[in-house]
Amino acid sequence: MEKNGKKAVVIGMAKSGIASAKLLYELGYDVTVNDMKTDIKGLKEELSGIEYKDALGVDHAEAVKGADLVVLSPVVPIFSPFVEQARAAGAEVIGEIELGYRYCNRGTKFICISGTNGKTTTTALTGELFKAAGKHTFVLGNIGVPITAHARETKAGDYVVAETAALQLESIADFHANAFGMLNITEDHLNRFQYKMENYIAAKCRGFENQTENDFAALNYDDPIVRDMAKLTRARILYFSQETEPENGAFIRNGRIIFRLDGKETDLIATSELRIPGKHNIENALCAICLAMSQGLDAEGVRRGLREFPGVEHRIEFVREKDGVAWINDSKGTNPDSTIKAVQAMTRPTILLLGVGNYDKKSDFAPLFEAFDGKVKAVIASGLNVPAIKLAAEKTGYSPVYVNDGPMIDMLKQAEELAQSGDAVLLSPAAASWGIYDNYEQRGEIFKELVNKL
């Protein structure tokens, strides 16, 4: 490996950090890996093919000394003091998606999805629409596969469909979305953004910064905050709506999904043909349609992709039916608004499993309880958010709320005892998994494994 004489430090050694370290090594950097943890399971095996300096457990400020480039994983705030120190010393500080973007082929187009809820489903669906229309497509980003893992594989004419979270967008520089979709905005990750909603929104909106008049922005007209983002981009606006028919964009007419651009309407499919349940998934589909049709994709391919898309794992995922009770995995429900959408999609009386993690985002659970609309017959709560969940229940007059701080199997057995034939048990925690599980995927996998053993 030919060295370039420069030092790169990667902060945070989860998936994106590992992929960044590998890419930087391939590019000739002397790589240092840094994390607050001193021992990360499987890290040595993951990095066995590269040379690197191990700075695990070393203070970030110490680790970045002498660096030419610092790459932040999404969990590391851009406003951290060591970031300013590194910049003052001459280092460039960027995030993983910026690094990945820089080393993708310049002829690759980026189709990006952001918002508080629905990003993963919309990203996966958008990727399927592009593939169904015959485009060579990478589905990357916050959906679980870092952009840096595949950047150098891209070729001119390829598409990268990327889920881009606020935690990633805050550290971009040149990152350019040819089409950028914004689904919705509700409170989330406020602990990460200095408890200021405006900081969270500003990070999301950075995705518009480098757009030009040749690009597209797909905005949710039904969300006032998102609708107002039209003034933040030079890109051409496509609105999507379930309540009105925008001049350009996607909407519902007589139960059918219509896309309109420059006066030309394309009738796609009936909403009833979508395999993904719930009104929120119609919203997700409308956004995906705007992004796909903005690139001139074949309408028949888009129709096929819409009809065939089965949904994503851990998002209102049917696990099994036992004794007349449906067990549903919505581990991706990591904030109250996401769980509201899952509850609204339920067609049976529901026992709801909340919390199931030891990480406090300082969320307000009251709007969740207010949205139950008679659908939730009982709540079982566990984890660090139990006090906030109980407070919200008392505030809204909801009962019963059972607290079960045993292992997950204890929650499931309690739910099994409470459930009757015709009910559903829904894992949609409205909270992050961290502190007990590595991520929402692990939480969901354990839930499914235990449910299948009941």
pLDDT digits (tens, 9 = 90+) for 220-249: 999 999 999 999 999 999 999 999 999 999
Q: Which of 285, 375, 298, 321 is nearest to 135 (CA)?
A: 298
Give the model's pLDDT for residue 2: 84
The reply to whether 2 falls in a domain is: no
The reply to whether 336 falls in a domain is: yes
Confidence of residue 199 (pLDDT cuts 50, 70, 90): confident
Confidence of residue 145 (pLDDT cuts 50, 70, 90): very high
Residue 134 backbone dihedrals phi, psi, to 5 degrees = 90, 15
Q: Are residues 339 and 401 in the same domain?
A: yes
CATH code of the domain in which 134 resides? 3.40.1190.10
Residue 266 backbone dihedrals phi, psi, to 5 degrees = -120, 115
The reply to whether 408 falls in a domain is: yes
Q: Are residues 251 and 133 in the same domain?
A: yes
* Pair type for strands 325-329 and 317-322: antiparallel
CATH code of the domain in which 423 resides? 3.90.190.20
The reply to whether 83 falls in a domain is: yes
Among 308, 328, 347, the domain boundary falls at 308
Q: Are residues 225 and 354 in the same domain?
A: no
Give the separation between CA 99 and CA 104, rounded to whole angstroms.
9
Q: Are residues 286 and 218 in the same domain?
A: yes
pLDDT digits (tens, 9 = 90+) for 91-132: 999 999 999 999 999 999 999 999 998 999 999 999 999 999
User: What is the DSSP-derived secondary structure letter of residue 170?
Assistant: T
Give the separation between CA 320 and CA 161, rounded to whole angstroms.
31
Q: Are residues 168 and 248 in the same domain?
A: yes
The reply to whether 1 falls in a domain is: no
Q: Are residues 304 and 391 in the same domain?
A: no
Q: What angle do CA 378, 380, 386 make, to 5 degrees?
A: 125
Q: Are residues 435 and 304 in the same domain?
A: no
Q: Which domain holds residue 447?
A: 317-451
The reply to whether 111 falls in a domain is: yes
Q: Are residues 247 and 151 in the same domain?
A: yes
Among 195-209, 214-228, 239-253, 422-436, where is mean pLDDT lowest? 195-209
The reply to whether 164 falls in a domain is: yes
Give the model's pLDDT for residue 192: 66
Q: Which tokens is 130 given?
A: 């592009």
Domain count, the chain: 3
* CB 100, CB 75: distance < 8 Å: no
Q: Are residues 326 and 401 in the same domain?
A: yes
Q: Which tokens is 33 given?
A: 């890996």
Among 308, 341, 362, the domain boundary falls at 308
Q: Are residues 25 and 90 in the same domain?
A: yes
Q: Are residues 287 and 324 in the same domain?
A: no
CATH code of the domain in which 26 resides? 3.40.50.720
pLDDT digits (tens, 9 = 90+) for 333-380: 999 999 999 999 999 999 999 999 999 988 999 999 999 999 999 999
Question: Residue 182 corresponds to which amino acid?
Answer: M
Q: Are residues 386 and 261 in the same domain?
A: no
Share of the chain above pLDDT 70, in %: 98
* CB 63, CB 54: distance < 8 Å: no
